[in-house]
């Protein structure tokens, strides 16, 4: 059964999903840091 | 703390690379399916990790709901202890063992039952106050990510093996999809509701949602389904190298999930800190406006 491409697709999909989620965590973290900094400046 | 996180992240990356090496190179090829069976080294550990995270979400939600009243909290503690004690004793009774599906070991059931009080008291001790709600949210979000991987890698495996991407009506597949939808709705509720009761409503939803986890897990024991039968604890057999690779992969994914949960929890802490700071600022702003308008109102009198 020539199904190696499915195996590769599954592994790549797994890491794409994890990378995407970690990316959203990073962007949320950066936005929060930014808003905290702005809040500090306003004080 | 940041240094420790980076060290753990490096070790986890090495562990994951080793698990992938075992999965692709060391584990033998399946005689029937060929190389595509190696998807289980990502699919099954992701499923187990998702179940564990939803279980943590369930325990945290029960704790959060129980903390609303002191009497309720005491009652839930005793119920949890009773579940642990009675559950363990019951699994060793011949009458109860006769009810267990073929191949399921009583010791495995007893361990699972004991995990309920163990997790309940451990989490209650480590996550006081509002942190319990933050833990529930973290576990649900990361659990949804792992459950998404299960739902994506499953059909990719099914296409070459079954000849179809999805078996409509199959209870294992459908219940997993329902589980994913329940936790996505939990996250949507948490994200978009501004009600003061959101945390309580979400915790109640999580408690009912968690009922789907045993249904997903035991569906392949109790129902006729196209999904493969369990090879661990289900009476099946597996090459020791395959089993070793599967368990190493799960350990690696557990370490990874722990780090992701840690990051998500820190993010939630920071978010609530920012919300508090913003609320304080608006309160101070409102106070100074009131002070400024005070002489005016006095003169008006």
Instruction: ipTM value, please give it.
Output: 0.92
Contact B274 A18 (CB under 8 A): no
| Residues of the domain holding B7 | 2-67+129-259
| Residue B290 covered by a domain | no
Answer yes or no: is pLDDT of B106 > 70. Answer: yes
Share of chain B above pLDDT 70, in %: 93
Give dist(CA B203, CA B101) in Å, integer. Answer: 31
Contacts of B156 in chain A (CB under 8 A): 6, 9-10, 13
Model confidence band, residue B23 (pLDDT cutoffs 50, 70, 90):
very high
| Residue B94 covered by a domain | no
Give dist(CA B90, CA B146) in Å, integer. Answer: 33
Q: How far is CA B35 from CA A36, A37, B245, in A?
A: 50, 51, 14
Model confidence band, residue B299 (pLDDT cutoffs 50, 70, 90):
very low
| Residue B273 covered by a domain | no
User: Tens of pLDDT along B39-60?
Assistant: 999 999 999 999 999 999 999 9
| Residue B84 covered by a domain | no
pLDDT of residue B64: 92
Residues 6+ apart with CB under 8 A from B139: B53, B54, B56, B57, B60, B261
Number of domains in chain B: 1
Residues in chain B: 301
DSSP structure class, residue B25:
I
| Residue B285 covered by a domain | no
Contact A6 B39 (CB under 8 A): yes
Answer yes or no: is pLDDT of B89 > 80. Answer: yes
- Percent of residues in chain A assigned helix, strand, coil, to nearest 5: 90, 0, 10
Comparing CB atoms, the residue among B36, B145, B271 nearest residue A6 is: B36
User: Tens of pLDDT along B208-232?
Assistant: 988 888 888 888 777 777 787 776 6
Q: Is residue B237 classed exposed, middle or buried when 0-12, 13-18 and 19+ CB atoms within 10 A define those classes? A: exposed
Model confidence band, residue B291 (pLDDT cutoffs 50, 70, 90):
low
Contact A7 B271 (CB under 8 A): no
| Residue B213 covered by a domain | yes
Contact A17 B152 (CB under 8 A): yes
Answer yes or no: is pLDDT of B289 > 70. Answer: no
Helix orientation angle between B171-192 and B131-162, rounded to the nearest 10 degrees: 150
Give dist(CA B125, CA B189) in Å, integer. Answer: 27
| Residue B38 covered by a domain | yes
Question: Across all residues in chain B, what is the average pLDDT?
Answer: 87
Partner B, chain A 2-41, Cβ-Cβ below 8 Å: 2-4, 6-7, 9-11, 13-14, 17-18, 21-22, 25, 28-29, 32-33, 35-36, 39
Contacts of A42 in chain B (CB under 8 A): 281
| Residue B196 covered by a domain | yes
Contact B153 A4 (CB under 8 A): no
Question: Which has more pLDDT, A11 or B301?
Answer: A11
């Amino acid at each position: 059964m020539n199904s190696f491409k499915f195996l590769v697709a599954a592994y790549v999909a797994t890491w794409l999903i994890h990378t995407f989620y970690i990316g959203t965590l990073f962007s949320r973290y950066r936005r929060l840091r930014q808003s905290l900094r702005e809040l500090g400046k306003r004080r | 703390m940041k240094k420790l996180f980076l060290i753990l992240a490096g070790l986890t990356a090495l562990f994951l690379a080793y698990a992938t090496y075992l999965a692709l190179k060391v584990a033998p090829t399946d005689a029937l399916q060929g190389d595509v069976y190696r998807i289980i080294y990502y699919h099954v550990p992701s499923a187990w990790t998702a179940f564990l995270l939803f279980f943590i979400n369930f325990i945290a939600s029960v704790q959060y709901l129980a903390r609303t009243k002191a009497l309720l909290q005491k009652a839930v503690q005793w119920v949890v202890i009773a579940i642990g004690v009675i559950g363990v004793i019951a699994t060793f009774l011949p009458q109860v063992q006769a009810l267990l599906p073929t191949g399921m070991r009583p010791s495995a059931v007893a361990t699972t039952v004991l995990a309920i009080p163990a997790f309940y008291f451990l989490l209650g001790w480590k996550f006081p106050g509002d942190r319990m709600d933050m833990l529930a949210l973290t576990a649900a979000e990361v659990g949804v990510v792992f459950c998404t991987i299960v739902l994506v890698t499953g059909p990719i495996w099914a296409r070459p093996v079954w000849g179809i991407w999805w078996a409509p009506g199959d209870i294992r597949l459908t219940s997993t999809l329902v589980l994913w939808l329940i936790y996505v709705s939990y996250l949507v509720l948490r994200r978009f509701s501004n009600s003061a009761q959101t945390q309580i409503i979400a915790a109640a939803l999580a408690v009912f949602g968690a009922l789907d986890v045993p249904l997903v897990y035991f569906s392949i024991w109790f129902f006729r389904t196209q999904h493969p039968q369990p090879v661990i604890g289900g009476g099946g057999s597996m090459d020791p190298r395959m089993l070793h690779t599967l368990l190493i992969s799960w350990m690696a994914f557990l370490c990874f999930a722990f780090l992701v949960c840690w990051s998500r929890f820190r993010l939630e802490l920071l978010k609530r800190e920012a919300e508090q700071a913003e609320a304080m600022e608006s309160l101070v702003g409102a106070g100074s406006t009131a002070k400024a308008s005070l002489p005016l109102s006095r003169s008006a009198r």
